[in-house]
Amino acid sequence: MDDGKRIDVPVEVNGECTMGQMDTQSDRFGHVERRLKSRHIQFMALGGAIGTSLFLGIGSSLSTAGPANLLLGFTISGLAVYGMILSLGEMTTWLPIPGAIPTFCSRYVDEALGFAVGWNNWYFASIVVCLEISAASVVIDYWPGAQGISPAVWITIIIIFILVLNVSAVGIFGEAEFVFTSIKLIAIIGLMILSVVIMAGGAPNKNAIGFEYWNNPGAMNELSPATGSEGRFLAFFSVLVYACFTYAGVEMLAAAGGETENPKVNIPIAFRRVIYRILGFYVLGTLFVGCIVASNDPNLLTALATDASGAAQSPWVIGLQNAGIKVLPSIINAVILTSAISSANAMLYTGSRYLYSLAKVGQAPRVLLNCTKK
């Protein structure tokens, strides 16, 4: 890598492979800058992959499938993600360009596949942005002082906030995402530690529950109307589908390849570290939440049935309250809010880089190549 505008790539000339150069930037429209450090892209991937699902969504999967199916679903899908992310890491290290995935598909398979993958990934990122912003407005509604205010107000404020971050210098964006994700990860680690304390009987109610809920009501639920082994398999499969959705976002490491400082060094480090962290947080998170909350817990079922706001629907909060810990719901709700904003922010970044990548090869309007000077 010389100046961040052209990269050396292998090309075929007269049947022989030689090294050529590919223009990765555009002087006419402006270009992206290599200002992201290794910690930035690692935390961006964590922020994109760990949204509200780990705090809220797993409650529904727990009640449907049971703790063992919840753990198995996230573990097995995580192993599939592990293989994918290592392969993607090798390709991104070799060709670190903005929004790399569509380019990989076009270069190694067919331009039609690159077109389809690029637009599908942009569409997915756009939907997740809308999902997380809407979830954030619901999370805010948990606090009594916000319940009389229209959700449209909060949605507008959040949209403006993440837009400002995304049009700022990429280094500022990276620092903001680093802070948001740090808050999220500290909270998850704290909840895991509290779960161990509760399981060991150190909570105010002094009840050492251990793996009690794996025996009663049971480790694997049956997905109605099926029964027996078929019902348990379908319950597991429902978690597997949901887990595949929640892991989405980790691939944004590749999208950030074109803006990473010293990519040949930082990208391999980031890919290796981030996948272990994501697997650790999700696998351990699902294990602990299945230990502190029963799949048939009345409070959990009521919260899901009434579509309760924010932390009231979180299985973590329900488990802490059952253990006699009453002071954390508002704190966890604030963390969930930060998590939703962080995920929306990261996905907006990813989606814009996919559009930029498509525009570079004429598969999207060239106006999408426009970049700010920063």
Could you give the CA distance from residue 323 to residue 192 in angstroms, rounded to a whole number? 14
Predicted pLDDT at 290: 93
Does pLDDT of 24 surpass 60?
Answer: no
**CA nearest neighbour of 93 among 273, 252, 247, 253:** 253
Confidence bin at 169 (pLDDT 50/70/90): confident
Q: What is the pLDDT of residue 252?
A: 78
The mean pLDDT of 7-14, rounded to a whole number, is: 47
Residues 6+ apart with CB under 8 A from 87: none
Angle formed by the axes of helices 315-322 and 263-292, nearest 10°: 40
The pLDDT, as a whole number, for residue 33 is: 66
CA atoms within 13 A on the CB side of 227: 0
pLDDT at 32: 64
Q: What is the pLDDT of residues 178-194, one digit of tens each?
A: 898 888 889 889 999 99
pTM: 0.81
- Terminal Cα-to-Cα distance of the chain (whole angstroms): 20
- Please, are residues 332 and 316 in contact by the beta-carbon 8 Å criterion? yes
Cα separation, 67 vs 291, whole angstroms: 7
Domain ranges, ordered by start, for the chain: 37-362
pLDDT at 174 over 80: yes
pLDDT at 255 over 90: no
- Which pLDDT score is estimated for 13? 47
Please state whether the peptide bond connecting residue 329 to the residue before it is cis, i.e. omega within 30 degrees of 0: no
Q: Is the pLDDT of residue 251 over 60?
A: yes
Q: Residue 19: beta bridge partners?
A: 10
Map residue 56 onto helix, strand or coil: coil
Q: Over the chain, what is the mean pLDDT?
A: 84
Query: Does the structure show a pLDDT above 60 at 245?
Result: yes
* 196-239 pLDDT tens trace: 999 999 888 888 899 999 998 989 999 888 888 999 999 999 99
pLDDT (mean) for 155-170: 90
At residue 297, the 3 state secondary structure works out as coil
Residues of the chain above pLDDT 90, percent = 29
Task: Name the nearest CA neighbour of 1 among 254, 259, 264, 253.
Answer: 264
| DSSP characters over 9-23 | EEEEETTEEEEEEEE
pLDDT band at residue 152 under the 50/70/90 scheme: very high
Nearest in space to 174 (alpha carbons), one of 41, 354, 4, 368: 41
Superfamily holding 37-362: Amino acid/polyamine transporter I (1.20.1740.10)
Within 13 Å and on the Cβ side, how many CA atoms surround 298? Answer: 1
Facing residues of 36 across strands?
260
Percent of the chain with pLDDT over 70: 90
Return the ∠ at Cα 343 (arms to 255 and 295), rounded to 5°: 125
Whether residue 8 is predicted with pLDDT greater than 80 in this model: the reply is no
pLDDT of residue 69: 94
- Residue written as token pair 């997905």: 223
DSSP one-letter string for 197-260: HHHTT-STT----TTHHIIIIIS----TT--HHHHHHHHHHHHHHHHHHHHTTTTHHHHTGGGB
Lowest mean pLDDT among 5-14, 30-39, 146-155: 5-14
How confident is the model over 266-316, as pLDDT tens digits? 888 888 877 788 888 889 999 999 999 999 999 999 988 888 877 788 899
323: which DSSP letter?
T
